[in-house]
Amino acid sequence: MLQYFVRRIVTLFFTLVIASLVIFVSLEIIPGDPASYMLGINAQEDTLQALRQELGLDKPKLERYLEWVKGMLIGDFGVSYTYRAPVIEMVSDRLWVSLPLAVYALILSTLISLPVGIYAAANRGKISDLSVMGVTQIGIAVPNFWFAMLLVYLFAIILRWFSAGGFSGWEAGLFLGLKSLTLPAISLALPQASILARVMRSSLIDTLNEDFIKTARAKGLTQNQALIKHGIRNALIPVLTIIGLQFSFLMAGAIIIENVFFLPGLGRLIFQSIAQRDIIVVESVIMLLVFSVVIVTFLVDVAYVIVDPRLRSSIL
């Protein structure tokens, strides 16, 4: 057991080191210079040099890499080249948009998909099931940015119920904030809800075939009663796993949607920073994302091992 943990922690450590190297090296070879981006086409060579020096870009690569890593270890993610603000502050500002958006989308997709999945499972094989499943197939196939464009066309340009983009900020009130996140959340939720509904349906059908449901029905419960009393709870485990996966996808995967709706979220921060060659921001944000995924995977693995004795014996 201990040996397992030690091995996992060592690999975790190496994964992070390799990830940091990969990120650093790829951003070193990316063509384009932050100083000349900032100073534009009339800048003189000595001015560029002065700015590079001010930003610390003239130091040797190895030194900059070590400084970056050292900073991260003590929670200092550097200062943005273009905005001159600490990266960690910028990230936490952006998280106030990205996090609520992801949660909003997730709630929407869960609220839509679970009833739909249950409904389809209860009516499996019937026309209603087939048509619901057909709709979810389409939902998976729709590119979310295209769906977003259609939503903007309908709700912002024709009906003018929502604004087509931008974020009012939370200080303008919870309602306005949620309102500006509504269309983006719907666009993000559609494919997720479709996937989730399918998972819910199939996992429910699997559960319905299990013995304890059969017992329950033998005791006189109707199929729907059995489904509600015993089936749903048991079918939720795979659904929760998928929801967990979708959450991390929604955090990093909203880039395009954030761009369509012009939301000041994490995705757009990265996108902008790449264009502006604000390398330190790109590096640190990607590293944070990688770190969170790696840590979550690690914790989940460890939790499984602790909970499930069968897994424990197989790895020891």
Partner 1 sequence: MFSFKFKNKKKNNLSLSFWVGLLFVFIVFLLALISFIWTPYDVTSLVISERFKGPSFSHVLGTDHFGRDILSMIMVGAQTSIAVALVAVGIGIFFGLPLGMIAAAKRGTFFDDLVMRFNDLIFAFPALIIAILITAILGPGAFNAIIAIGIFNIPVFARVARGAALTQWSKEYILAAKVSGKGTFLISIEHIIPNILNLLIVQATIQFSLGILAEAGLSYVGLGAQPPIPSLGRMLADSQTMISIAPHMAIFPGMVIVITVLGLNLIGDGLRDYFDPKLRGSS
Partner 2 sequence: MKFIRKLFLVIIPLVFSVNAFAAKTDLTVGLQLEPPHLDPTGAAAGAIDQVLYSNVFEGLTRFASDGSIIPGLAKSWDVSSDGTVYTFHLNQGVKYHDGSDLDANDVKFSLDRARAEDTTNAQKALFAGITNVEVLDHHKVKVTLDKPNGNFLFNLAWGDAVIVAEESIENIKQNPIGTGPFVFDKWVQGDRIELKKNDAYWGTPAKLDGATFKFISDASAAFAAMMAEDVDVFKSFPAPEQLVQFESDPRFKVLIGSNEGETILSTNNKMEPFNNLKVRKALAHAINRQAIIDGAMFGYGTPIGTHFAPHHPAYIDLTGQSQYDPDLSKKLLAEAGFPDGFTTTLKLPPPAYARKGGEIIASQLREVGINVEISNLEWAQWLEEVFRGKDYGLTIVSHTEPFDIGIYARPEYYFQYDSKEFQKVIEDLTAETNPVQRTSLMKKAQRMIADDYVNGYLFQRAQLSVINAKVKGIWENSPTQATDLTSVYWQN
Q: Does residue 132 contact residue 120 with C-beta atoms inside 8 Å?
A: yes
- Cα(136)–Cα(191) distance, integer angstroms: 8
What lies within 8 Å, CB to CB, of 141 at 6+ separation is none
Q: Which of 31, 60, 75, 220 binds partner 1 (CB under 8 A)?
A: 31
Q: Is residue 53 within the footprint of partner 2 (CB under 8 A)? A: yes
The Cα–Cα gap between 122 and 230 comes to 13
Give the rounded distance of the alpha carbon of 36 from its chain centre: 33
Helix (H, G, I), strand (E, B) or coil at 66: helix
User: Contact with partner 1 (CB under 8 A): which of 6, 9, 30, 85?
Assistant: 30
CA distance 82 to 90: 12
**Is residue 161 a contact point for partner 2 (CB under 8 A)?**
yes
Decide if residue 39 touches partner 2 (CB under 8 A): yes
Cα dihedral 199→203→208→210 (10° resolution): 170
Q: Does 48 bind partner 1 (CB under 8 A)?
A: no
Window 200-219: residues binding partner 2 (CB under 8 A): none
Distance of alpha carbon 287 from alpha carbon 19, whole angstroms: 8
Q: Is 82 in the site for partner 1 (CB under 8 A)?
A: no
Binding residue for partner 2, selected from 239, 277, 287, 305, defined by CB under 8 A: 277
- Which of positions 183-212 make contact with partner 1 (CB under 8 A)? 198-199, 201-203, 205-206
Contact call for residue 100 and partner 2 (CB under 8 A): no
Q: What is 131-152 written as a DSSP string?
A: HHHHHHHHHHHS-HHHHHHHHI
Q: Facing residues of 86 across strands?
A: 79
Quick check: 86 binds partner 2 (CB under 8 A)?
A: no
Contact positions toward partner 2, by CB under 8 A?
Answer: 31-34, 36-44, 46-47, 50-51, 53-54, 82-85, 90, 93-94, 97, 149, 152, 156-157, 160-167, 169, 179, 259-265, 268-269, 274-277
Contact positions toward partner 1, by CB under 8 A?
Answer: 11, 14-15, 18-19, 26-27, 29-32, 124, 134, 137-138, 140-143, 145-146, 149-150, 152-153, 157, 198-199, 201-203, 205-206, 252-253, 255-256, 259-260, 270-271, 274, 282, 286, 289-290, 293-294, 297
